[in-house]
Structure 1
Amino acid sequence: MLRSLLFKKLEQKEQDMINHYKYLHQYPEPSFNEAKTSQYIESFYNDKDVVIHKRIGGNYGLIVEIEGSLPGRTIALRADFDALNISEDTGLSFSSKHDGWMHACGHDAHTAYLMVLAESLIELKDHLPGKVVIIHQHAEELAPGGAIDMLNSGYLNDVDEIYGIHLFPDYTPDVISYRKGPTMGGRSLFHLKVIGKGGHGSSPHLANDAIMAASTFVTNVQTVVSRRLNPFDMGVVTISSFNGLGSLNVIQESVELAGDVRYMESRIGHQIHDEIVQLIEGLEETFNIKCEFNYELDCIPLINHYKQTDYLVDILATSQGDYFESLKEHEQLTSSEDFASYLEKIPGTFFFIGCKPYGVDEAFYNHSPKFIVNEDALLTASKALGEVVLNRLSIE
């Protein structure tokens, strides 16, 4: 049975996955600048019987095509490989060697298991129906995100379905979780410059206080969520930066704010934009100031296709109790993920493997400087994605 052959190969190569993971973890690179990471991945495939497309969109993503010898469909699998501007504090023996940068989201592990899964599928290609497209994606963490480059390349035009995994420490690696429909939040970013009239602290009546106006905005913008959105709609507005530094006796002429908006439906993101614009117009009138406002879409909501998620659940349910113990429905996540862009164009689903270290009550979450991946999650992830692709390749 092809599944048994694949699983045996993955088990034999588990240490290879871990070795790739540890190497990548030591050499994190920022989004859109992952040159050496991309070279490492490319060199892994150079002596293998595949087609490699590199420098996708002029950036560092790669697409690897594994052509089976039998008729079948085309299934894409994706992993990301960029890192974060975080100083590592894990104490791992293979901690980051690049100061200020860390694989704090698990992208190193994503890449490691997909490389070895791809290698195993290549070794079985004489038995494979259809085509497997391996997407090694750059720049997931930074807008506009590498997924757009991959989609614009044209190499995914004939893909029938796409699947991806994220490692999260909600559970240990014996738990796989999924969700149908809206699963991860969309994200928008905004910048606001409030321009008033500077003056001396002793004569506030001769100035138009930008800090006062901006502070009013910080308070009032929360009413967009509490009073303008339908209570059944999810929305979050966060002010993440307030820059009004100056001398103690000077009323500042201008203040700059930045913020983050989260939502589970794109229409909510647009509504929040419109409500903020209305608040700003009122702010200008009330305080006799001017505002410069910029609102940018960073990531659309991730909406898993119901049919492909049902396929996933049916496939994995037959393996529950084998290489993992529990298949659970995951709650919605307000964090964002640019796999959403693939799902906007291609049927598929994005699911989760637990990577919580054993023996801890609460693990440090992704993007923490103390985030640690349980290495057992790599084999679980490779097997789960592997049996999904084998099943979906052979469906006519």
Structure 2
Amino acid sequence: MPEYSNFETKAIRHQAERSHNREHSVPIYATSSFVFEDAEEARAMFAEEIPGNIYSRYSNPNNDEFIEKLCLLEHTEDGIATASGMAAMFCSIAAFVGQGDHIVASRSLFGSTHQILTSLMPKWGVSHTYVSIDNLEEWENAIQPNTKLMFLETPSNPAQDLADLEALGKLAAKHNIILSVDNCFATPYIQNPADFGAHIITHSATKFIDGQGRVLGGAVLGTTDLIKEVRFLARHSGPSMSPFHGWILSKSLETMAVRMDRHCDNAMELATELEKIDDVAWVKYPHLASHPQYELAKKQMKKGGGLVTFELKGGVERGRKFLDALQMVSLSANLGDSRSIATHPASTTHSKLLEEERLAVGISNGLIRVSAGLEHIEDIKKDIFRAIEVSA
């Protein structure tokens, strides 16, 4: 297969090998297992002496195509597909730590990732230290002799704070620690953490990778030696992606560039217009000049992403009235859909955090997160601005 240098072409033209049917679009391999030519081939595959498919819990052509394509787009060597984004997050942590180990993590994490660190990892004797996402000194001071992993998401959910990936990559190399980055919000079209020194990149493919709210899925990508550890964990614990979802997500990557351009353009215009409204207390969007890390965002993000965060004057009650007044924009805990979505994180996605924990990472009680969809921007603005007016 020829090599291509452009994102769009890689996402479309990298496909699994055609069968004797000479299909143009890769079929769905809806099979639980695969057959061997003879006993020796079976032995050699199980011994990992030769490549090949054994059982769909281990690998499947649809999932392999999805991961190979995603590795090309993220500039990584290898990866595995998982049944959900949180399966990917768990595997990307659990594969590298054990009894007595320590993790340094940004305190600005998705609620379920927070639960992995605070509720699940301690059961296996793994401790953690939270640090401010943008304070390099805190990151370095938190490193202990038993620190095995540095974990973060950037931009953060939902506060839209950024980590300096290049600085953290150098810090991880200095201390010989694995740097793991959740790149779900930015997507490989906007940001490539591996280029800045990250060893592991995780995705909830449920979000912008699928892009249409259809399926669950996740991915863990990275260097060959590290993914070997993740694959061992996944192979024996079984968070496998279904072939059908692998097929859908591989197809979704073909339209990612055009979709993300529209998501980002809509989000940028929405954020710009929200800043002009008196009833809006503040707006955060990485590529707004008002963002406190605007220069860093321009350096490591091709565009600003599809999410806009803001707060209405009047706090949580005003925020609830605003949500109830929306007519087109959906109320959902998801994001990255073709449909615009509004979320109140304090009462939904981050409701398990204590109030002081939410406030420490910029999640105020009245914060609203909007995932800008693919509708016409004038219709998105009309619904949101009308709801702001009605909620006053």
TM-score range, shorter chain: under 0.3
More strand by share: 1
More helix by share: 2
RCO higher in structure (CA 8 A, sep ≥6): 1
Which one has a bigger Cα radius of gyration? 1
The TM-score with structure 2 as length reference comes to: 0.27
The TM-score with structure 1 as length reference comes to: 0.27
